[in-house]
Amino acid sequence: MLLAWAVLGVQLATPKVASGPFYAATEHHLGVTRWEAAPRLGLDAWTTKFASGDTVGAKATAVPKGFSSADDFARFGADTRDGLTRAGYGNVEPILQGSAVTGQSFRTGQAFDVGRVSDFDIALASPELLQRAQSLGIGLRSGGARTGPLSARDLQALGLKDLASQLSSRAGREVNFMIYDSAATATGRAPSVALPK
């Protein structure tokens, strides 16, 4: 792609770089942002957000933490998407975030599943679902771009309690949902891997 931009005569600006203990984010010319899990975590996961709002990603040469194989991850993704469709949210884009992607807890730095059973954090990206949450009185954060982690009461009100329970049982760990207004907002906030279709 860099070669194509050079051939077209597009001047590339110096990228803006931001990082945290578990990720690096680079914003390039034309509003392209790339998140990468920190190499020291041993996970080659990334997402790329374009200025148009399109997001590509889920390159994972290593299966996210908590899954026994690529097939296990694919089944979990399909189950999540099927459950969202059954709940009436077929337009939602589910995105895995948190320590399953980075390999370590953001808060404590503790490695995934060391000394405890880690959870799965799933961002649900959909402006319609976010609007529904707001209409039900679920509080919004970040200027109205997302919710916090959904409580049992929130899940019940949104018709997602059964799905969260089924996914938690299947995975053998707690599954948490948070709603975002778009996939671009979710992936721009944290290292992310879209769940397989």
- Average pLDDT in the chain: 79
Amino acid in position 173: R
Q: Is the pLDDT of residue 47 over 50?
A: no
Of 4 and 189, more confident: 189
When pLDDT is cut at 50, 70 and 90, the band that residue 65 belongs to is very high
Length, in residues, of the chain: 197
Residue among 131, 123, 126, 132 nearest 189 (CA): 123
Of 90 and 24, more confident: 90
Report pLDDT digits (tens) over 136-192. 999 999 999 999 999 999 999 999 999 999 999 999 999 999 999 999 999 998 899
Dump the DSSP string for the chain: -HHHHHHTTPPPPPPEEEE-SSEEEEEEGGGEEEEEE-GGGT--EEEEE-TTS-EEEEEESSPPTT-SSHHHHHHHHHHHHHHHHHTT-TT-EEEEETHHHHSB-TTT-PBTTSSS---EEEEEE-HHHHHHHHHTT--EEGGGTEE-SPPHHHHHHHT-HHHHHHHHHHHTS-EEEEEES-HHHHHHHS--EEPP-
Q: Is the pLDDT of residue 22 over 90?
A: no
